[in-house]
Amino acid sequence: MIHDHWTTTSGYPDWYKELKEGDYAHNIRVGVKFWRYIFHSATPKFTDDLFKELKKINNEYKTENGTNTRRSSLKALLAENSSDIDLALIDEKLDDIDLYAEQIAKDV
């Protein structure tokens, strides 16, 4: 995804070059940069489709969580209310991932 034909031929950044073998926290941050770029630079149609898909998945997770009796099996939601999923929320989530990349990497 971060190093594909469209990346190398279209002028989009090649995030693959930024990856460092074994440096998971750094690579998580590269992933954050990739997603931030996608959300902020994609065409409006693509962005609309992406948000529709995120809201759909969030709703499916809510449904699954509602029927799940094991707390340890609950899926993390982007938002309790899927209509709250917008660019500001995505930026918040990406900021959190960036902030906690070291901790996340330790859990890998």
Q: What is the pLDDT of residue 7?
A: 55
Q: What is the pLDDT of residue 4?
A: 60
Range of the domain at 39: 5-106
Domain count, the chain: 1
Q: What is the pLDDT of residue 6?
A: 55
SS3 per residue for the chain: CCCCHHHHHHCCCCHHHHCCCCCHHHHHHHHHHHHHHHHHHCCHHHHHHHHHHHHHHHHHHHHHHHHCCCHHHCCCCCCCCHHHCCHHHHHHHHHHHHHCHHHHHHCC
The pTM assigned to this predicted structure is: 0.83
pLDDT at 82 over 60: yes
